[in-house]
Structures are given as structure tokens and as C-alpha cells.
Chains A and B, each alone.
Chain A
Amino acid sequence: MEEILFGIGISALAGALATVAGAAEDTESDIGSQGDPNSQVQLAPQMGYVHRIYNKAISGEPPAYGLWVALAAGIAWALMAIQYNAILALIIGSAVAVFVQGVYATTAYLGRTASLAKFEQPVYIDILKSVTTVTMAHAFVAVFTTVTMCFLIIEALGHPFPLPLMGLVWGIALGAAGSATGNPFYGKERQYQNYPFGAGLPISASGDIVRYAEAGQRSSLDNGWFTSKGAGPASGICFGLIVFFELWRTILFEPFAAGWGAVIAGAVIIIVFMVIDRMVETWARKTYGPYTTAEAVTEEEATA
């Protein structure tokens, strides 16, 4: 019993760490403009919209976070192997990983922006100085919490994977959850803030991103300010739920039915989420209704 309680406590702690990680990860990627919405930052100058937005084209978030977390885990593992204190090792590992992240971010901005010279997009050095440090700070929060979570899962819950492999697995999962949840909010709601709410962006409008702020010019830091109120927490909840339920179902139900308990619990949780999703979907259909009413459609058909 006590062992199970301990396990549940660790699951809750790991879930909490994952929630922080998810929120920080998404905010970091939105400030730096990483992942799919970055295609618009890249496209804008070609359409004649020169901007002052960061262009952190390192790769998609899943491989990038796979590297940062695996790197932090690898260095922490190496330092622990020479008898460093575990917490110190995790912090040094995360710090080195964030240094690497910062360097990659600057080379991505310089590289992509310099290659856009044909469209008269200048390199703004002040962006490099002000935004890189902020993304590094958010990345540190995301990387440190994730690698701590991996350490807890191994040391307290006894998972067989070594720390670097665990870091790779959860780093990629973190990037997948954060990019999937956070990208549309940054891509549509923030980059195309001046387009109507409640509708997707017309394909013809691609590239016309918002470049001016209430006063002055939009900086990438404002994007973090905006997305940390919507997509950031949502990504945090997403990754937190994933980690918590993954651990919780195993610890609580694995003793039942020779291990099948955890599998059945997983299936039940999946079905519950599926039902919630269906409710969300029908709520949206009922509340928002179709974009064109049925009469309009039939009229159109009649004229056609």
C-alpha cells in the first residue's frame, strides 16, 4: 500500500513537472517562432512584408526537444557517473543543453534571414540579442523539468531505461504534444490576428502576418506574452495529462490481472477522452453553427 501511495505521489509530481515543461516548451517555441507557423515568418518577406519576428528554424519541435532533453540527460548522466550530486548534475546538464539551444537558435535566425536578402529582409541584430536570451530562459525551464521528471521515473519508479534514452523518448513526446497543441494558436490567432476570429485563414492570405503592434513594431517577445495565455497552458495540460495518466495507470493497475489491469485502464482512459472529444466537437457545431446557412447553400446551388 505504502509503495503504491509513494508511486502515486511520484506520478503526480512527474505530471506537475510535465505541465510546467509543456507550458514553457510551447511559449519558447512561439517566442522563437519554431515549427510549422514559422513557414509564415519565412514566407512573409517573399510576399513583400518585411518583419521583425525571430526565425528559429532549427527543425520541428519534436526532434529539437529530443536533442535538448537527451543532451541534458546525457551530460547529467555523465556527471552523475563521476559522483556529482544528482541535482547539480541535472542543473548543469540543462544549462549546457540550453547553451547549445541558444547557439542553434542564432545560427538559424542568421542563416534563414541572410538567405532572404533577395526580398530585402535585413538582419536585425537587436532581435538576436533580446529574443535569444528569452527563448533560452524558457527552454531551460522546459528542459530542466523534463529531465528531472525522467530522473524521477528512473530512480523512484524503477523504469529500466538509462537516463539519456529516457530523455530522448520524453523529449520527442514533449515536442510532439507541445507543437500539436500550441501551433494553431500561434499560427492563426497570433500571426494573423487581424483576420476574423472563428475562421481558418484563407490560403490566399498566407504571408500577410501582423508586423505592427499597438504601438511600434511587433516583437517576438509579444508573441510569448500572447500565447502564454492560451496555447502555453493548453500544451502544459496536454503533456502533464499524458505523463500523469501513463504513470498512474501503470502504478495503480499493473498488479491486477497479471499486468492486464494497466492495459485495460489505458483503454478505458482512451475511450473517456474520445467521448470528451466528441462532446467538444458537437458543442462547437451546435454553438457556432455552419459558416453558411442551409438556405444560402441551396440558393447557391440553385444559381449554379
Chain B
Amino acid sequence: MSALGGGSAGGEGINPAASVIALVIVLASVGIAYVVYPAALIPLIGVIVGGVLISFGVHFVPVGGAPAAMGQAPGIATGVAMLAAGGGLAGLFGGAWAAEMGIWVALGAGAMGGGLLMAITCLMVNVVYVYAMGIPAASGKVDKDPITGDTYEGYRSQGTEGHGLPFISYVGGVIGGILAGAGGTLIYLELLSVYQEALPSFLGMTPEGMQTLAVSLAGIFAVGMFLVAAVLTAYNITGTIEGPHDPKFKRWPRAVIGSSAACAACGLVAILLVVI
């Protein structure tokens, strides 16, 4: 993302006490929503699931950070949170467009929007590596591709940890885009349903006038929460990851716990907006 990699501070393992507290935050948020505004219970759960999808999805996205830009490490040469945001927000675009077709279609459209961005971006990354720089793809973390069975031992150039996007990373990128796109869309749709339902009665508006208001509110909240969940996940994987075969991938449970608590808190505030 920038010139900084810094020392990676993230330790391994799960902190049980903190995780329990995070789950308590989730339950407390759901409880408050149920007491204050029962109709918002399902949407809040949707928002939490959306946050979980985003944070789980970001783990799949192969991000190499600064070393990838010099062909020193495999992955896409940009920041993890921002790449996922690109995919997720493109998904949000597709999902919001299909919102009136029903939640499942909209979720599918959002997922495909995110997946499409990642599929094309990852393809062009490999095209540039192969045709413009003459470098074949090689993973640094595994010697054998779990999907295709390609071996990478001879394909790492000297003094590097691999380069390009091996097929497993490509598939990871697409899965990550699909999950992040679906997650962002889910947050948007759930908040949109809350606002569409509540704004006319709470504020005494005409339904036609407030459609654009509900879209704007849900949109900006979805973007904000998306970035919160994506950055928390970026902190969890300390910047770079190769994809689902990377050992760092195993850290996903704590990011999922953290993001669900973060989205529960933010989602509760976003929903309480209509109550007071």
C-alpha cells in the first residue's frame, strides 16, 4: 500500500479471553437491538454475517505488498485492505443495482461483481508478469500447487520468494472477491431494508422521496463498515498473504471473531439511527 511494511507485530494463536469478550459484544449488540427495535434483529444479524463474509473473504485474496512489485514475492502488488475494497465495492455496485430483484439475486450479483473484478485483475497481473516481464508464476510458501499439481521448485528465480500468481492464488483471489462482494452487498441490503421500512414512519416522509436517502445512508454505512472489517483483517494477516495455502490463512478465526464484533457494534449504531 505504501512504502511501509514495518515489523509485523501479529502473534500466532487465539486469545481466548479476548475472543469471549468479542462474542459478548456481538451478543450484547444483538440483545440491545432486540430490546430497542425488534424489527431490526434480523438485519443486524445480516450485517454481522456480512462482516464475517468480508473478513473471511479477505484472507483468500493473494496480496504481496511492496515486495510483489519487484517480483520478490508472489501476490498482487497492492495493499490488502484496498484490493479487497476494490473487489468488494465493485460487488456492492452490482448488488445495489440488483437490489429490487430480491435479496438472493442481489447477493449473487454482488458476489459475481466482486469475483469478476478479481478474476480480471488477477488475469492481467499474470499477463503482465508473463508477457511483459518474462517471469513465470511461482509460489513461495508451497512447492506444489494444491489444485494443479504444478511444482514450483525450479521456477523461483534466484534470491526471491517466488513471483506472479500461481493458480491456487488466482482461485483464492476470485473466492475472496466473491465473498467480499457478497458481504458488502449483504450489509448494504440489510441496512437498506431497515431504512426503507423505518424512515417514512419515523420521519414522516413520503416513500418516493426517501428512497434516495435510504440508498445513500445504507451505501455510506456499507462502505464504512466494509473498510473497518477489511482493515481489521489486514491487521490480522499483517499485510501480506499468498492465498488459501499460506500458513497465515489459519489465522482466520480470530479475524472473523473480531470483524463480527466490530460489525455488530457499528451495525447497532447504524440501526439505532432510526430509533432515536
Contacts and interface: CB of A to CB of B under 8 A. Distances in A.
- Please say whether the chains A and B touch (CB closer than 8 A): yes
B104 to A, nearest CB: 9
Q: Which of A41, A258, A280 has the most CB of B within 10 A?
A: A280
A254 B98 contact: yes
Nearest to A165: B219
By DSSP majority rule, is chain A's interface helix, strand, loop, or mixed? Answer: helix
Interface in B224-272: none
B66 interface: yes
Contact of B119 (A169, A176, A273, A285): A273
B130 A176 contact: no
Contact of B125 (A39, A41, A170, A180): A180
Interface in A243-270: 245-246, 249-250, 254, 258-260, 262-263, 266-267, 269-270
Nearest to B78: A179
Interface string A170-214: 101101110111111111110110000111111111100000000
Contacts of A83: none
Nearest to A250: B97
Interface string B122-160: 111111111111111100000000001010011111111
Q: How large, as a class, is the contact surface on chain B? A: 35 or more
Given A172-B82, A290-B155, A200 B127 contact: no
A294 B155 CA distance: 11
A273 B123 contact: yes
A82 B37 CA distance: 39
Given A162-B216, A180-B83, A263-B109, A37 B2 contact: no
Contacts of B66: 36-37, 39
Contacts of A162: 212, 215-216, 219
A274 interface: yes
A185 B116 contact: no
A61 B78 contact: yes
A61 B78 CA distance: 8
Interface in A263-304: 263, 266-267, 269-270, 273-274, 276-278, 280-281, 283-285, 288, 290-294, 297
A159 to B, nearest CB: 5
Contacts of B79: 60, 62
Contact of B77 (A184, A241, A262, A281): A184
A245 B136 contact: no
Interface stretch (B17-25, B43-51, B86-94): B86-94
A174 B89 CA distance: 11
B120 interface: yes
Contacts of B2: 35-36, 38-39, 57, 59-60
Given A245-B120, A288-B134, 14 more contacts: A39-B5, A159-B96, A161-B96, A165-B219, A175-B86, A185-B128, A259-B109, A266-B116, A274-B119, A274-B171, A280-B127, A281-B167, A281-B170, A297-B153
16 contacts: A36-B77, A37-B70, A39-B66, A60-B1, A61-B78, A177-B124, A198-B135, A206-B70, A250-B94, A250-B109, A259-B105, A262-B109, A267-B112, A269-B119, A285-B136, A293-B154
